[in-house]
Amino acid sequence: KERNSKSNVKPKACRPIILQRKHTVLNNSASVKQSDGYISRRKSNVFEEGANTICGIEQINQNTNNNASVKQSIVKYEQSELSASQPWCPTHNETGSQAPQIKNETEHINLIQEQCNVVASSCKQSILQGPQNSTNNIMTKQEPGFSNNFSTQTLPFHIQGMKPMFQNIPVQGFQLRGLNSNNQSAVQEVPVQNHFQMHGNTEHYSYQHYEAASDIQHSYNNIQVPGYYQQPIQPSSMHSGHLVAQPRQDHFQNTMSVGMTPNTHYQVHGFRTPGKFHDQAVDDSLTNITWLGRMGVNNFMPVPLERERKVFERDEKRGRPPYSYMALIQFAINSSSAGRMTLRQIYQWIEEKFPYFISAKPGWKNSIRHNLSLHDIFVRQVTTGSKASYWTLRSDLNIRPLTLDSVRGTSQHSFQESPNNHETTWSLQTVAQGQKPILPRLPPRPYILLPVPLINNETNEKEFSPNVQTSTFFNSTPISSQYGDRENRRSSSQECSLLADSGFVSDISVFTPSTHGRNFLGCLISRLERQFLNSDCSPMLSQTRVTSGTKRSTKKSRKEPLKTLHDSFNSSVNFEKNEVAAQSKYPSSPSSASQLLHCKPSYKKDKHKSPKLMTEESFNEILEDLGSPFKSCLARGPDVDSMMSPRSDPASRKRRCSWGSPESSKEFQHRSKTEREVTPSSRCIRRVKSCVGDLRQNYADMQQKNLTQLPTSTPLNKNKWQKTKRCNDMDLEDSKENMLQCFQNTTKQRDDQWCNDKSDEIGEHSIPSPIPSSSKNPAFDFFHDLIGSVFKTPDKPSHFESLTPERVPLADITHQHKDTNDINVESSAVSESIAPPNPSLLSPKYEPLDTSFSKLLDISGGSGTFSRHNQFSDVPDLSLSWSNFSHF
């Protein structure tokens, strides 16, 4: 819009390549060397190309001595006139490309083919010219260890003629086909790591955001999927006055880097997820590059993966439209002139447009209703005087109305009904054609833990005092619910689930930015520890009692769900008693135990005969484990030895990879290069995660020894673990041993040592509690202590200094923020109550970074992210932002 209004010229458009994420083909299967040399092991995303995807590379079994640098190939991307309905496409001039005008499709195809060949041959050549002496075979190890044998080589190219942000999209991955150590042919997908996560809404990203994001590693995640729910950006979280600025071109001209081993036998194919498969025989010739020549706009299909093929064939057989129910409902409602529809009309519309549903299982209507209720964007409009109730779309959503036409593209290409009944072949190309590109989602920010005040049942006041009884806390703190309130439905509650698979308080939820305002794990652990460490107790069980299994027989009465932590806790403490009570109250409801036995295939499969409660001993052990590192992490100074940066500690990386490496975590990836070193906060996070990994292993071990069996919904077992983490027995044992050793021998000792030293030093109890002692302003006290401890003069100043290269004098910060006069105190009572901290209380020697520190402080979600409301209505949202501390 901005562009058009300025130039008053209708922009020429080029069609962006639009891709859809379909599957994670191989979890943690391949390493990708990013431009900063950092190796990521994140999931490999496989994409489905829209109009054109290019690049096929084929490695020939041939070594050369040539070590020439990798050549860069440029592919001029298709330029064509599109309708003004796609004004987001860049103009010819803006992109600076010299793309030719395409006259017809044949010419276009030829051009693309030619360009592909250019790219392919160049890449091929560069591969051939790679380092010579390596004797590694790419498949000497199956994933995940496979990547450890990789060297990397960069294959830069980009496509011109596209909006910059799309320039590095074209190839999402390669398929490496080679020989394993047994000389058997094998296939490996290698993802291409792009820098930006394409997600979210278009209009609200400022130039600054791009600036900020440019040095942060982003993974290419997603291009808009038809029907995908575009989450709205709350107006309050937008930067006012910032329109869409074109990102600087150089932010997006990142080369792609693919980890691969030179001098080995492999083919590299651009690969894709299924669109329309051509079941032509895969050309397995290792020296054949002619397949490129067969590629056309509608005929780009290198080697479909077996699994993808299955998935797609399944969907295709079902003739099911590739839209979610949510999208379908939006289509329907948007199709009506009144912008509203009754449920029945929605049914009818969907059946009319998608005949599949006429003969589908009747359950789809249930799902429609479910979706209507589930998603906030659907609002029921009750008309007075009439019984009719209409479903409308929430008007305050700043999203483009989703219509079927908009996702179908031109009608002639939309989808062709096959002769068979309702089988429909979807041309995903044209589905994608109508899609509007979307801009990157801003990265999550670093965050810190904050205490959550507890509700005193008697006074009904929030307090931080440690003498609040656990029961008080439990009684007052509701269990997160999928339907806690309309604003915090499913997603947020899932995100905030309190209890992990392992049966105790969830580790992860504490550390996700979006749950920062609801972090009471610290409080919880602390209280549990204080109150129950030496008493008879069982661990809390699942978030809610197991009330249904996979197959529920009809007409079973339902047990009351557990509403609060108190319920949950009591339920677990008095498990057997409650079972008896529940049985008498709900005779037709199966007992938890019987459900576990009869309704959980996984339990049966793993021969978990009966659920047993955890022993007090094991519980205490876990509590202790969980509590100690959690707290000491907060209090400790930097410790680069025990939590060395994975980059500088290959052994550590290897050790952790099988368990979900810290460096694959979002927190880690989204940190900029400099920040990615071990900072106190990152160390804290990673340590806790590491500890949780240990705890889970403990659980697994205990389960194997039949010591305990938690009646949780998802039993933790070796098989599942392996499936998830894709590690074999060796890895599992290896990791277990390594982690345990690392944790027990190193970390714990160091913890203890450190805590003892600190204890002497500060003359208080050995481990500073995350719970603030009572004071006038406990929230601030804690906050201050936390920051103070995080940035405290370290035991090893050299490390600390080396990890924080930039420091600004505190005075500068203070001055700067005074000048801004940017006091933006939220309505949150807690925020308001926080007094200005006393700078002198901070370490005089080491001031925090201005940037990272402000990021630490600014945990409110920030612009462009979705700040979810507090899950728990009676717990104030402790979101704090730097602006709250301007006087700081």
DSSP-assigned letter for residue 646: G
DSSP strand E in 497-656: where?
A: none
Q: Is 632 in the site for DNA (CB under 7 A)?
A: no
Query: Rule CB under 7 A: is residue 277 a binding residue for DNA?
Result: no
Please state the closest distance from residue 517 (CB atom) to DNA, in A: 13
Q: Which of residues 422-461 bind DNA (CB under 7 A)?
A: none
Our finding on whether 492 is near DNA (CB under 7 A) is yes
For DNA, what does the binding mask look like between residues 350 and 389, x meaning CB under 7 A?
Answer: -----------x-xxxxx-xxxxxx-----x------x-x
What residues are paired with 612 via a beta bridge? 709
Of the candidates 283, 347, 664, 846, which one interacts with DNA according to CB under 7 A? 347
Helix (H/G/I), strand (E/B), else coil: 343:
helix
Nearer CB in complex with DNA: 28/492: 492
Nearest distance in Å: CB 547, DNA:
4
The least CB distance from residue 366 to DNA, in Å, is 5
Q: Which is nearer to DNA, 252 or 354 (CB)?
A: 354
Which residues within the stretch 4-33 sit at the binding site for DNA (CB under 7 A)? 21-24
Answer yes or no whether residue 490 interacts with DNA by CB under 7 A. Answer: yes
Q: Does 58 bind DNA (CB under 7 A)?
A: no
**Cβ proximity to DNA, 183 vs 389, nearer residue:** 389
| 45: β partners | 24
CB of 506 to DNA, least distance (A): 4
Helix (H) / strand (E) element for 462: namely: strand 462-463
Tokens of 443: 């990265």
Pick the binder of DNA from 216, 399, 508, 533 (CB under 7 A): 508
Among 298, 481, 531, 594, binds DNA (CB under 7 A): 481
> Is residue 392 within a helix (H) or strand (E), and if so which, with residue range?
strand 389-393
Q: Minimum Å distance from CB 765 to DNA?
A: 30
Q: Which of 137, 206, 514, 690 contacts DNA by CB under 7 A?
A: 514
DSSP result, 670-688: TSBTTTTS--HHHHHHHHH
Give the one residue of 178, 549, 627, 794 binding DNA; rule: CB under 7 A.
549
Q: Which is nearer to DNA, 361 or 705 (CB)?
A: 361
Do strands 73-76 and 157-160 pair parallel, antiparallel, or not at all (unpaired)? parallel
Phi, psi of 505, deg, nearest 5: -55, 135
Residue 338 binds DNA (CB under 7 A): no
The alpha carbon of residue 648 and the mean position of all alpha carbons in its chain are separated, in whole angstroms, by 25
Among 394, 558, 585, 765, binds DNA (CB under 7 A): 558
The DSSP letter of residue 70 is P
Helix (H) or strand (E) holding 160: strand 157-160
Is 620 an interacting residue with respect to DNA (CB under 7 A)?
Answer: no
CA pair distance 112, 134, nearest whole angstrom: 34
Residue number, 161 or 232, with CB nearest to DNA: 232
Toward DNA, which CB reaches closer, 228 or 532?
228
756 binds DNA (CB under 7 A): no
Cα 256 to Cα 34: distance, rounded to the nearest angstrom: 7
Length of the chain: 888
Q: Closer CB to DNA, residue 88 or residue 229?
A: 229
Sequential DSSP letters for 224-289: PPTT---PPPPGGGSPTT--PPPPPHHHH-PPPEEE--TTS-EEEEE----SS---PPP---TT--
| Residue 491 beta carbon to DNA: minimum distance, rounded to whole angstroms | 3
For the bound state, the minimum distance from the C-beta of residue 222 to DNA, rounded and expressed in Å, comes to: 8
What residues from 387 to 416 belong to the interface with DNA (CB under 7 A)? 387, 389, 391
| Contact flag: residue 495 with DNA (CB under 7 A) | yes
719 SS3 class: helix
Q: Which of 600, 653, 748, 855 binds DNA (CB under 7 A)?
A: 600
* Least gap, CB of 321 to DNA (angstroms): 9
Of these, 420, 459, 553, 827, which contacts DNA (CB under 7 A)?
553
Contact status: 482 vs DNA (CB under 7 A): yes
Q: Which tokens sit at 812?
A: 């500068």
Tell me the closest approach of the beta carbon of residue 543 to DNA, in angstroms: 7
Among 28, 31, 40, 45, binds DNA (CB under 7 A): 45
* Number of C-beta neighbours around residue 424 at 10 A: 22
Specify the DSSP class assigned to residue 708: -
Minimal distance, residue 618 CB to DNA, in Å = 22
512 lies in the binding site for DNA (CB under 7 A): yes
Q: What is the DSSP string of 828-858?
A: -HHHHHPPPP-GGGS-SS-PPPHHHHHHHH-
Name the residue with tokens 């999550």.
444
Q: How far is the CB of 380 from DNA (least distance, A)?
A: 5
User: What region, left, alpha or beta, does residue 72 occupy, with left being phi > 0 and alpha being psi -120 to 50 degrees?
Assistant: beta
Q: Nearer Cβ to DNA, position 43 or 124?
A: 43
Q: How far is the CB of 170 from DNA (least distance, A)?
A: 19
Report the relative pairing of strands 20-24 and 45-48 from DSSP bridges: antiparallel
Q: What residues contact residue 818 under an 8 Å CB cut-off, 6+ apart?
A: 886, 887
Q: Other CB atoms closer than 10 Å to residue 548's CB: what's the count?
A: 14
d(CA 577, CA 302): 61
Q: Is 544 in the site for DNA (CB under 7 A)?
A: yes
Whose Cβ is closer to DNA: residue 375's or residue 758's? 375
Q: Give CA–CA dist 285/58, Å, rounded.
A: 10
In the bound state with DNA, the residue whose beta carbon lies nearer, of 453 and 711, is 711
Residue whose structure tokens are 């299955």: 310
Residue 621 amino acid letter: E
| CB of 600 vs DNA, minimal distance in Å | 6
Please tell me whether residue 228 binds DNA under the rule CB under 7 A: yes
Residue of 127, 15, 11, 109 lying closest to 61 (CA atoms): 127
Query: Euclidean distance between the first and final Cα of the chain, in Å?
Result: 40
Could you tell me the smallest distance in angstroms from the CB atom of residue 21 to DNA?
Answer: 5
Report if residue 185 touches DNA, rule: CB under 7 A: no
Smallest gap from residue 552 Cβ to DNA (A): 4
Q: How far is the CB of 459 from DNA (least distance, A)?
A: 28
Kindly state whether residue 158 participates in binding DNA, applying the rule CB under 7 A: no
d(CA 364, CA 813): 57
**Closer residue to DNA (CB): 390 or 885:** 390
Closer to DNA by Cβ: residue 867 or 886: 867
Query: In what helix (H) or strand (E) does residue 177 lie, and over which residues does it extend?
Result: strand 173-179
Q: How far is the CB of 364 from DNA (least distance, A)?
A: 5
**Sign (positive or negative) of CA dihedral 699, 704, 709, 715:** positive
In whole angstroms, how far apart are CA 620 and each of 446, 534, 537? Answer: 31, 8, 9
Q: Which residues contact 433 (CB under 8 A, 6 or more apart)?
A: 15, 18, 50, 51, 409, 410, 413
Kindly state whether residue 44 participates in binding DNA, applying the rule CB under 7 A.
no
Q: Is 506 in the site for DNA (CB under 7 A)?
A: yes
584 contributes a contact to DNA by CB under 7 A: no
Q: Which is nearer to DNA, 104 or 553 (CB)?
A: 553
216 contacts DNA (rule: CB under 7 A): no
For residues 842 and 813, the answer to whether their CB atoms sit within 8 Å is: no
Number of residues that bind DNA (CB under 7 A): 73
Contact call for residue 303 and DNA (CB under 7 A) = no
Residues within window 708-747 making contact with DNA, judged by CB under 7 A: 713-714
Q: How far is the CB of 37 from DNA (least distance, A)?
A: 26
Binding of residue 206 to DNA (CB under 7 A):
no
